[in-house]
Amino acid sequence: MRHTALTIAFVALPLAATAQGFTYGERNTDFPPAFPEQFRAELVSSDVSLKTELLAGGLVHPWGIATLPEGGGWLVTERPGRLRHLGTNGTLSDPISGTPEVVAARQGGLLDVMLAPDFADSRMIYVTYAKPVDGGSATAAARMMLAEDLASVSGVEDIFVQTPASQNPMHFGSRAVFLEDGTVAITTGEHFSDEERPFAQDLDKTYGKVIRVNADGSTPDDNPFVGQDGAIDTIWSLGHRNIQGAAVDASGTLWTIEHGPAGGDELNRPEAGLNYGWPVISYGERYGFTGGGPIGSGEAVQDGMEQPVYFWDPVIAPGGMAFHAGETFADWNGDILASSLKPGGVVRLSLDADGMVVEEERLLRDIGRVRDIEVQPDGSFIILTDFENGSVFHVTPE
């Protein structure tokens, strides 16, 4: 369901709700939600106790994780530029050789990792990273072949490099997911600064966008801006701030979660050619350390710009996300599990048949900054904690 400025009826909702001691807390702004399901869903508590098993510690800001087939463990990235294999027995490999050089500064480094759908035959994996380029750095995505012994990669080939270069190593976005048709969605950020954030609205730049490419980096013929003068033809959607969560649901629909400023984190279903508003509209405001005050137009709604499916204020500072499936925690099948960096833990969202958020639950609130989440075939899930001494945990029922 789309919600545009033409069809909005504002609804006032309570500012706080509680479930097992958690309350939503004080807001940064007072923008009313555009429809009832857009904000502060009913807080619930599952009748389940969670067990967290430490699989590995001592990782430096782990960022992305991918599950290898047939019980082969996981690939894990560390932001300083290392890719490692983690065995199911907790054995952590030396860094896998051959990965691309990264800009390991501020939010930059080696970021997401995923397997090709035909990995068992092709051995192809994909990573996103902050690439050193003339003039600074850029979000990039590359594919490469993983050796059978898991010790090296070869044939590194970029399938996307953001333009133009930025000297500000912030807001790289950088999730990548395969879509149902075999194309790849790559998310980017707008590099944070007042000077660069307006580029999220520009079709001749790939800041603040969802990018869609074929698996080899070529442009799909049905991308929305193919053939449009002055537009980069790999752009799928625009007007995003810093998308660090992306996942595809059981019906094949792409969903994303992006960081807002002070308030205004967003859950979206990006559609071809649509504009999601940043930095013209937002449910948040400028950070206090940058002077505070309104963003862009100072409005949360504007004609021709899309509304988020859901927003948070105060923020959850989202990392990765996944749709739950499996026998373990079966009551959560179809729900979104989203990583939270602040206040931390995992946020579960239950959706109705129309894809609207009807329940929210806060899980593992004491575990700290969670950067990524990976649901396992049995329905249990893996989380990464993003610290200088970060960890990988396996989450199962108590």
Q: In the chain, what are the domains? A: 18-397 (2.120.10.30)
Task: Report how far residue 261's alpha carbon sits from residue 284's, in angstroms, rounded to the nearest whole number.
Answer: 6
Q: Is 356 helix (H, G, I), strand (E, B) or coil?
A: coil
Q: Is 231 helix (H, G, I), strand (E, B) or coil?
A: coil
Whether residue 1 has pLDDT greater than 50: no
Q: What is the pLDDT of residue 47?
A: 87
Contacts of 131 (CB under 8 A, 6+ apart): 100, 101, 102, 103, 137, 138, 139, 140, 158, 161
- pLDDT tens digits, one per residue of 121-171: 999 999 999 999 999 999 999 999 999 999 999 999 999 999 999 999 999
SS (H, E, C) 46-75: CCCCEEEEEEEEEECCEEEEEECCCCCCEE
- pLDDT tens digits, one per residue of 243-282: 999 999 999 999 999 999 999 999 999 999 999 999 999 9
What pairing do the DSSP bridges indicate for beta strands 110-115 and 82-86?
A: unpaired
Whether residue 336 has pLDDT greater than 70: yes
Q: What is the average per-residue pLDDT within 178-195?
A: 98
Say which range, 34-43, 135-144, 289-298, 313-322, has the weakest mean pLDDT: 289-298
191 catalytic? Reply is no
Task: Report how far residue 347's alpha carbon sits from residue 267's, in angstroms, rounded to the nearest whole number.
Answer: 12
In contact, 380 and 328? CB cutoff 8 Å? yes
Residue with tokens 């071809």: 272
What pairing do the DSSP bridges indicate for beta strands 390-397 and 381-385?
A: antiparallel
Q: CA nearest 356: which of 309, 307, 301, 292?
A: 309
Q: Which two tokens stand for residue 249?
A: 């649901």
- How much of the chain, in percent, has pLDDT values that exceed 70? 95
Contacts of 220 (CB under 8 A, 6+ apart): 183, 212, 213, 214, 226
Say how far residue 153 (Cα) sits from the centre of its chain.
Answer: 25
Whether residue 7 has pLDDT greater than 90: no
In contact, 98 and 154? CB cutoff 8 Å? yes
Q: For the CA atoms of 280, 282, 284, 289, what is the dihedral angle to 10 degrees?
A: -20
Q: What is the pLDDT of residue 9?
A: 36
Whether residue 19 has pLDDT greater than 90: no
Whether residue 18 has pLDDT greater than 80: no
Amino acid occupying residue 46: S
Q: Is the dihedral of CA 396, 387, 105, 87 positive or negative?
A: negative
Residue with tokens 């969802």: 210
In this prediction, residue 4 has a pLDDT band, given cuts at 50, 70 and 90, of very low
DSSP 307: P
The helix or strand, by DSSP H or E, that contains position 398, with its residue range, turns out to be none
Q: Find the catalytic residue in 3, 61, 85, 171.
A: 171
User: What's the pTM?
Assistant: 0.95
Q: What is the average per-residue pLDDT within 301-318?
A: 98
What pairing do the DSSP bridges indicate for beta strands 42-43 and 357-363?
A: parallel
φ, ψ for residue 187, nearest 5 deg: -100, 145
Q: What is the pLDDT of residue 290?
A: 82
Q: Is 201 helix (H, G, I), strand (E, B) or coil?
A: helix
In this prediction, residue 10 has a pLDDT band, given cuts at 50, 70 and 90, of very low
DSSP 120: H
Task: Report how far residue 392's alpha carbon sits from residue 1's, in angstroms, rounded to the nearest whole number.
Answer: 36
Q: What is the pLDDT of residue 325?
A: 98
Q: Is 348 helix (H, G, I), strand (E, B) or coil?
A: strand
Whether residue 17 has pLDDT greater than 70: no
Q: What is the pLDDT of residue 213?
A: 99
- pLDDT tens digits, one per residue of 32-46: 999 999 999 999 999
- pLDDT tens digits, one per residue of 344-371: 999 999 999 999 999 999 999 999 999 9
Whether residue 13 has pLDDT greater than 70: no
Q: Is 236 helix (H, G, I), strand (E, B) or coil?
A: strand
Task: Report how far residue 280's alpha carbon sits from residue 297's, in angstroms, rounded to the nearest whole number.
Answer: 5
DSSP 24: -
